[in-house]
Every structure is written in C-alpha cells, then in structure tokens.
Amino acid sequence: MSADIVPLPRRQPEEPASLDPILSLTAPGMNAVNAVILDRMQSEIPLIPALAGHLIAGGGKRLRPMLTLAGAELVGYQGTRHHKLAAAVEFIHTATLLHDDVVDGSEMRRGKAAANIIFGNPATVLVGDFLFSRSFELMTEDGSLKVLKILSSASAIIAEGEVDQLTAQRKIETSEERYLNIISAKTAALFAAASRIAAVVAECNEEKEEALDAYGRNLGVAFQLVDDALDYDSNAAEMGKDQGDDFREGKMTLPVILAYARGDEDERAFWKAAIGGHRTSDEDLAHAIELIRRHGTVDATRERARMFAQRAIDAIAIFPDGKARQAMAEAARFAVARGY
C-alpha cells in the first residue's frame, strides 16, 4: 500500500457534455434560418423590428430551430424547406417569451433589460402577436397542412400550459405530476414539434416521426427541469435569468415541491408563507436555497432531468449511428449538465 494520500475525486456529477457538436452540425443551416428570421421580422412599422430585434439579436441559443435542423440531418433530408419552418418555430418561441415577460413582469431576459421594460407592455404584447401571425404565414407559404397541424396544436398547448402554470402559481399543494404536465405543455410541446417537423418535411414514416417527437419532448422536459433547478442552485455557474425569480413569483417548480414534501413542519410553514408571497426577501431566498440544499432537491431535480434526457437519447436509437445522432445525444446530456 502506498503511503501517498489518494485524494477523493472531486464530485463530477455529469459526464462532460457540450453543445458544440450540434452547433457545428447545424451551423450552415442556421445561417439560412437566421436570414429568414431577420428578413421576416421586418415591417413598415419601425417599432416592430426594433422590439423583435432587441430580443432576437439578444443572443438566444436558438435551440428549437436547431432541433429542426439536427432532425433533418438525422433523417438525411436534402431539401431546404426546413429553414423557413425552423424560423417559424423560433417566431412562436419569441412570441411566447415576449408574452411571458409581460405576464411575469420580468426585468431581465438573456442578460439584458427585457423588452417590456424598454418598450412597455402594450408594444411587447402586440409585437408578440405579430411574430405569432408571421410564423403562421411562414408555415402557410411552406404549404404542409401536417406541419400546420403540428405547430398550431403545439401553440395551443403552450398557451394552455402557461395558463395552467399561472393557476398553480402561489399554490403550495401543486404536485409533481401537475408540475410535469405544466412543463410538458409550456416547454416540451414546442421542442417535440420542432423535432417532429423535420421528419414531416423529409416524408419519413410514422415511426420516425414519433421518434423525433419523443426526442424533442423528453429533451424539453429535461431542459425545463434543469432551468428550474438552476434557479435554486447555489453552485450554478451559468444563469439564464435572475436567480430567485421563480421563488419571488411563487412558481411551484420541482426543487420546491420536493423540499416541501421532504421538509418538517417548520419548513413547510416557511414554504407556505414564501410561495404565498409573504416571505420573499433576499434572506428568505437564502433560507429557501439552504432548505433545498439540505434535502438535495436540486440534485433530485437534475436526476429526473437525467432520466428524461436518457429517454430522449433512447428515442433516436432507431436511427443509424453517426454524426447527427451523436450530436443530438450529446445535446441531451448537455441539457442536464449545464450550469455546472
């Protein structure tokens, strides 16, 4: 036996994972998509491109259109129809972000002042409506009724999910089941649709369509779970929004649902007050983060996310191995690992 002290390995909770493979896979296509986005957010009313551009140029990851492009690579699609449709997907997403910011009274988005702060709620609502209409114009130009059905249905489900989330806000009794329903609707439905339409333009069979849908849907759930975990993760290196927003808004996300379930009587009383909007100071947030750490519910949330990411990866196992499948699998692992 050696006398050297072997240090315990530092906790490496995730395999290293990166978005780079999917970024390079989709880079040429994303240039085309970005060109459509910039072209079609124009209007004779100058406030529209000004407001839309503030958010669109604001450095989002464009994950959803990327899924359409990656899916197209995966199924070997050779055409260009998916560029317009991927732009339509991003417009739907942008419209929901604009409306979300009004709904939540957000102050920051992607590290900048949110559009509603700069341009006001009225213009932000209306430009969201414009982008939403524009997305349906793009789909109609493409002409696939199947794509229109998938994306109009996803849009209705997103709105339902957002309303459901609003209804659950400040309700401490929200269950994990209901929470999962909410994020499946408000986030995963568009991920699923964005992936699925790649199979539709490529005229794949139903099995492949379903596989891409399942990839996107599970990835979307994983993505939202980690987003919600990051809001309470004191170790988080990367923050997409102001930490503590969910707490102050009384949103019932999984780290809180589990901390409430695992907590003792005093802790539950604290959560009731906090989610009810009566304890929302910085000290209260620090206490919430401490309780969440005590019960390991950020890790538990990531654990759920890991399972959904694995389901995403398994869903595309029916496709031949190759660059596209590997990039998509790594994107799913990245969705779980990000923030570390």
Kindly state whether residue 45 participates in binding a second copy, applying the rule CB under 8 A: yes
* x/- track of binding to a second copy for residues 91-130 (CB under 8 A): ----xx--x--xxx----------------xxx-xxx-xx
When binding is defined by CB under 8 A, the residue of 32, 53, 160, 314 that contacts a second copy is 160
4 CB burial (10 A radius; 0-12, 13-18, 19+): exposed
Tokens 């995966």 sit on residue: 74
| Nearest-angstrom CA–CA distance, 140 and 286 | 49
Kindly state whether residue 149 participates in binding a second copy, applying the rule CB under 8 A: yes
> With respect to a second copy, which residue has the nearer C-beta, 27 or 45?
45
When binding is defined by CB under 8 A, the residue of 47, 57, 261, 317 that contacts a second copy is 47
**Nearest by Cα to 275 from 146, 167, 170:** 170
When binding is defined by CB under 8 A, the residue of 145, 177, 206, 265 that contacts a second copy is 145
> With respect to a second copy, which residue has the nearer C-beta, 42 or 281?
42
Q: At a CB cut-off of 8 Å and minimum separation 6, what does 286 contact?
A: none
φ/ψ of 74, rounded to 5, equals -60, -40
φ/ψ of 101, rounded to 5, equals -65, -35
When binding is defined by CB under 8 A, the residue of 19, 23, 38, 159 that contacts a second copy is 159
> With respect to a second copy, which residue has the nearer C-beta, 167 or 281?
167
Kindly state whether residue 167 participates in binding a second copy, applying the rule CB under 8 A: yes
- Calculate ∠ Cα 177-195-55, nearest 5°: 85
> With respect to a second copy, which residue has the nearer C-beta, 47 or 57?
47
Where b means 16+ CB within 10 Å and e means fewer, 93-117 reads: bbbbbbbbbbbbebeebeeeebbbb
> With respect to a second copy, which residue has the nearer C-beta, 44 or 283?
44
Q: At a CB cut-off of 8 Å and minimum separation 6, what does 263 contact?
A: 270, 271, 291, 295
Interaction site with a second copy (CB under 8 A) = 43-48, 95-96, 99, 102-104, 121-123, 125-127, 129-130, 132-134, 136-137, 139-141, 143, 145, 148-149, 152-153, 155-156, 158-160, 162-164, 166-167
